[in-house]
Amino acid sequence: MAGPAPEKRMLAGIAAAAVALGVTQLLAVAFGPQADARTAIGSTIIDLSPGPVKEWTIQTFGTADKLFLTIVVLGVIALIAAVTARWETRRVPVGSAAIGLAGILGCAAVLSREGATMLDIVPTVVGTVCGVAVLRLLTSGRFTDAPEPTEGSGSADQGRRLSLMTLGFLGAGALSGVGGVVLSRMLSSVSGDRDAFALPRINVAAPPVPPTVQPKGVALPSFITSNADFYRIDTALSVPQLSRVDWQLKIHGMVDREITYRFQDLDRFEVVEKLVTLTCVSNPVGGDLVSNAAWMGYRVRDLLAEAGVHPDADMVLSMSIDGFTAGTPVEALTDKRDALLAVGMNGQPLPTEHGYPARLVVPGLYGYVSATKWIVDLELTRFDRAEAYWTRLGWSPRGPIKTESRIDVPRSGQDVAQGPATFGGVAWAQNRGVRGVEVRIDDGDWQPADLGTGYSNNTWRLWSFDWQPTQPGLHTIAVRATDNTGAVQTSEQADPVPDGASGWHTVSFAVK
């Protein structure tokens, strides 16, 4: 009996891949997060991707970069499964071999994750076997359509049964995969632990925010960014779920004594609240990967003091529970900027996607060298002995934030009504502060903008500019900031790699 038509073989390949992935995802629930092949494969792809590819993804998709990766991975798997299944035969099982190879790669990805064991590959092995079995069944010829079905031959019914079975397996695989993801999140979620966490009493509160930080008459971002709107860029495909009971922070390396803190050990340290603006090194000129929040936690220098830092140590290599590392200059964690081991954000426990139960917040440095989430390890070392995750990929080792500014109103291409207009935006120069902002319309002179009240050197500053158009048509607006050292924001255009973007943000708009 002849096998199914090529297009039905291709659909059978996709259905078999769906079953393999779905069974793997569903079984992984019983084995724990380490057995999640989907996350392991995605994380491996992230780790192995060259730096420029990572940067392009962040620049293009921003905070949706992980969704993009998931869609691409699933699309590539479906394409490979369809193409190889087209040539699947009993004697030459090309599609089955492809599923088997994918299973081997999935097992390798699972075993490459920190803490994984051979037991964690069981779901991937079982899922792979199920996928191969489904493909062999659907391409065996048992449900083949005859080229020219005759009345009463039953071949048309066989074809319909094959199509229904293929769609059934496809649906079952998809439902299993979705069910596995949902169950895994429900069982591993630390949302209950977070809800039960009462933030400690603040010993050193941040100064109140005066209402004058927010310029009037223009729709600018809120001075304090809500937790929901705060940008998120990290390498975690699935948000790590770490409870306070399981959390610990090890301090070791070039220290007088190794110390491991449990969460309850933090109670003996002073609780500090600070408003700090964080910025991603991948933020382009005019980009939105910058946000401001009120952080609450413990001075990192207090924790390090108990360990006794060696005087020749110049870097702290911090590590997340998922293996991500960042290298921070020792002085940035021990000077008066009060770098924090943060446990609270805007008066709430840290959201899980922002590092619950604890993360680093270091004013003045881009996040890739300072803002480690889900932190569990601090190693005192030297820049000439160790490299962190992003520095291995070509980014600079220290990452001080550059003086930058952004135009929020008007937006690029926006129509502005003729008559008085108020423009505005934000500027930042963490650890130095913003002293002034200037605006230029078209090719005119630079003019000073009105500034919202400056809160601190560690937070952004909002600005506004009143303008009366003299004629309709196309116009441009450019902005530049001056920090408290007197340094004026450079006009030199630079890409985010290796140490942050620079240049003046310019927006085109039309007066109607």
Residue range 138-153, pLDDT digits in tens: 998 665 544 444 444 5
CA angle, 295 as apex, 289 and 296 as ends, to 5°? Answer: 160
pLDDT tens by residue, 351-366: 999 999 999 999 999 9
C-alpha separations of 145 from 4, 87, 130, 148, 175 in Å: 7, 17, 24, 8, 28
Mean pLDDT value of segment 298-306: 98
Fold of 404-511: Immunoglobulin-like (2.60.40)
Answer whether 129's CB lies under 8 Å from 150's CB: no
Q: Mean pLDDT, the chain, as a whole number? A: 92
Say whether pLDDT at 245 is over 60. yes
What pLDDT, on the 0 to 100 scale, is given for residue 3? 63
At 497 the three-state DSSP class reads coil
Domain boundaries, the chain: 6-188, 211-393, 404-511
For residues 249 and 298, is the Cβ–Cβ distance under 8 A?
A: no
Say what the pLDDT of residue 236 is: 85
* % of the chain at pLDDT higher than 90: 77
Contact present, 271 and 247 (Cβ < 8 Å): no
As a whole number of angstroms, the distance between CA 454 and CA 214 comes to 10
**Class of the domain covering 211-393:** alpha beta
Mean pLDDT of 104-118: 90
pTM assigned to the model:
0.85
Residue 445 contacts by C-beta under 8 Å, 6 or more apart in sequence? none
Would you state the pLDDT for residue 154?
A: 54
- pLDDT for position 33: 83
Backbone angles phi, psi at 427, to 5 degrees: -140, 150
Burial string for 165-192 (b: 16+ CB within 10 Å, else e) reads bbeebbebbeebbeebbeebeeebebee
Quick: pLDDT tens for 21-69. 999 999 999 998 888 888 888 888 888 888 788 788 887 887 787 788 8
Structure confidence by residue, pLDDT tens digits, 408-466: 999 999 999 989 999 999 999 999 999 999 999 999 999 999 999 999 999 999 999 99
- Cis peptide bond prior to 311, omega within 30° of 0: no
Mean pLDDT over 204-229 rounds to 97
Question: By mean pLDDT, which of 152-166, 190-204, 305-319, 488-502 is the weakest?
Answer: 152-166
Give the separation between CA 342 and CA 333, rounded to whole angstroms. Answer: 13
Q: What pLDDT is stored for residue 148 in this prediction? A: 44
Question: Same CATH topology for 211-393 and 404-511?
Answer: no
Q: Is the pLDDT of residue 107 over 50?
A: yes
Give the DSSP H/E element, type plus range, for residue 300: helix 300-307
DSSP state of 457: T
Q: In this structure, are residues 377 and 388 in contact, taking their beta carbons and an 8 Å threshold?
A: no
DSSP assignment of 362-390 equals -TTB-GGGT--SSEEEEEEE-TTT---TT
Is residue 245 within 8 A of residue 192, CB to CB? The reply is no
Q: Which range has the worst mean pLDDT, 22-26, 72-76, 153-157?
A: 153-157
Q: What is the mean pLDDT of residues 338-347?
A: 98
Among 55-59, 108-112, 347-351, the least confident range: 55-59
Residue 157 pLDDT = 66
Choice among 11-25, 62-76, 182-196, 367-381 with the minimum mean pLDDT: 62-76
Place of tokens 């869609």: 71
Q: Which of 148, 129, 171, 231 is nearest to 15 (CA)?
A: 171
For residue 1, name the pLDDT band (cuts at 50, 70, 90).
very low
Mean pLDDT score, 375-379: 98
Q: Quick one: average pLDDT of 360-388?
A: 97
- Confidence class of residue 296 from pLDDT cuts 50, 70 and 90? very high
Q: What stretch of H or E contains 425?
A: strand 421-428
